[in-house]
Amino acid sequence: MSNCQTDCSAQSKLVTALLDSRRYPHPAKTVRLIETHISWVLLAGRYAYKIKKALDLGFLNFTTLEARRFYCAEEIRLNRRLAPKIYLDVISIGGSLEEPELGAQPAIEYAVRMRRFAFANQMDRLLARGKILPRHWDSLAATLARFHSGLPAAEADSAFGTAAAIRASALQNFEQLQPLLKQPADLDAVAALRHATEVAYTACEKRFEERRAQGCVRECHGDLHLGNIVLIGNEPIPFDGIEFNPTLCWIDVMDETAFAVMDLLHRKHPDFAYRFLNAYLEATGDYSGVSVLRFYVAYRATVRAKVNAIRAFQAGMSKRGAADALATCRSYLVLGEAYLARHHPALIITHGLPGSGKTTFAQAALERLQAIRIRSDVERKRLFGLAPLADSSRIGNNMYSADATQRTYARLHELARELLMAGFPVIVDAAFLKQEERRQFRELAHELAVPFAIASMQANKATLSARIKLRHKGAYDASEADIAVLEKLQAAQEPLLPHEFACAVEFVNEEDNLAAIANMGGWGKLDKMLVPISSEPNGTNLSMLQ
């Protein structure tokens, strides 16, 4: 018997003893045990105690008591950044295996002590019950954007986040996954995903190094799937970040974001996945990260495939549990390969006066089409160093001058090109009231040989005025157009030309809500306009992502 097996056997005796509620220095009517592939969690009264298994799995090594103490402390340090009310302290366990004493010395084991929360409030469980609202994804995106922006970048001389380190982590997943699977079809799926991953890596290799030089590699959460996010006080709180291997948490911020995107895609919620992604991109401005998103989504799918394969073949797993874990492993392999193959670039520009519902349409469209949206109101402010909801009055009229407008559309054009070349549908949310503005984007689509459409939003003057007044009263949107601006633009707008009507879809938007937009009849026409000019390579079936 190996030392790891001996230590885990001893730990099992300790965990069994800790199932006795009398071992705790606080009220605990019962003690519940939850076991994962790397830890035991004892739920006792108001607290949870997490003991790390004495394992060496390659990507972690908890085989010594000192290592477990260190990583318990790291778990507290790292997770208190996002969940300070959950993560309390590291507690020693003294006494003997048969009669353990919490808080006693000398320590025979260590545990992370946490404040309990209802498992029913984990976002994976709430999502399964239909209890997650769109605003929860907006809130999570805002939290993650603030978290990432406050983190220092990796040191220039560190190995974290280098292209070589990214490749090593990706290949390690396959090296650890392949020996666990026995069926020829499973091995073929692993081989196919590995090949697709290596091709994607080669395409992204230079971009990985560029993003590292730009400071995008930071000490992140590292394990941001929905089972590690809990709703507390109606706010999503990430917990259980990675502490056991710095290589897995010192990562590109887009790698972190991609994990939640991947998890939502796997759970058949592409609408929420792209709502969350777009909210994050809008808050951070990190649109260049989309160029590596596809690689990271596949990488994260492989990680989850590996975790489920480990669970499937762990000792003590029931036959039904093992079968379920193996089926889940296979579904992640399918998702990873399909997402790497997914390239459906298309360009949609909005058209309409302030208050006509352009942003409401764009929100519905990005969720429906799995697209990336860029907003003129947000990017204009970003050019002047302002946050999306910031008041621009201190800048004066410069932000809305002809020069600023030209710079804004030039930036939108630049971003649209980059995103289209990354293979994603793009929605440019701007007024596009000038024929020249529309022409430049139509020519971009022609140059890149991607479908092009104009979503022309129409509403009567009373509706436009009412919406603008309501928006200003609530101060909840990046747009700062007032009634005077509306009247000025109404007089200056240039109508669509006959040749533009051929690629335009009109949406009459008199109801100010997303559901109304989503049910409009123009979607069928828009869908036909967005049929790819060239067919998907290899005829990849992406129906499982819809």
From 55, 84, 116, the end of a domain falls on 116
Q: Is the CB of residue 287 less than 8 Å from the CB of residue 419?
A: yes
Residue 407 three-state SS:
helix
Looking up residue 7, the CATH number of its domain turns out to be: 3.30.200
pLDDT number for residue 545: 35
Q: Would you place residue 539 in the very low, low, confident or very high pLDDT band (cuts 50, 70, 90)? A: very low
518 or 385, greater pLDDT: 385
β-pair partners for 87? 114
Query: Based on the domain organization, do 434 and 519 belong to the same domain?
Result: yes
pTM score, two decimals? 0.91
Residue 367 placed within a domain: yes
Q: What is the mean pLDDT of residues 365-378?
A: 96
pLDDT number for residue 292: 98
Query: Based on the domain organization, do 495 and 369 belong to the same domain?
Result: yes
Range with the lowest mean pLDDT among 12-21, 169-178, 450-459, 484-493?
484-493
Given a cut of 50, is residue 540 above it in pLDDT?
A: no
Looking up residue 317, the CATH number of its domain turns out to be: 3.90.1200.10
From 307, 341, 375, the end of a domain falls on 341
Q: Would you place residue 314 in the very low, low, confident or very high pLDDT band (cuts 50, 70, 90)? A: confident
Question: Where are the alpha helices (H) located in 358-401, listed in sequence order?
Answer: 358-369, 376-383
The tokens for 146 are 């603030």
463 or 211, greater pLDDT: 211
Given a cut of 90, is residue 4 above it in pLDDT?
A: no
Q: What is the mean pLDDT of residues 273-278?
A: 98
Q: What is the pLDDT of residues 389-441, one digit of tens each?
A: 787 776 666 788 899 999 999 999 999 999 999 999 999 999 999 999 999 99
pLDDT number for residue 161: 95
From 94, 116, 138, the end of a domain falls on 116
Query: Based on the domain organization, do 168 and 23 belong to the same domain?
Result: no
pLDDT number for residue 519: 64
Q: What is the pLDDT of residues 82-101, one digit of tens each?
A: 999 999 999 999 999 999 99
Long-range contacts of 232-235 (CB under 8 A, 24+ apart): 232/85, 232/117, 232/121, 234/136, 235/139, 235/143
Looking up residue 383, the CATH number of its domain turns out to be: 3.40.50.300
Q: What is the pLDDT of residues 223-258, one digit of tens each?
A: 999 999 999 999 999 999 999 999 999 999 999 999
Residue 274 placed within a domain: yes
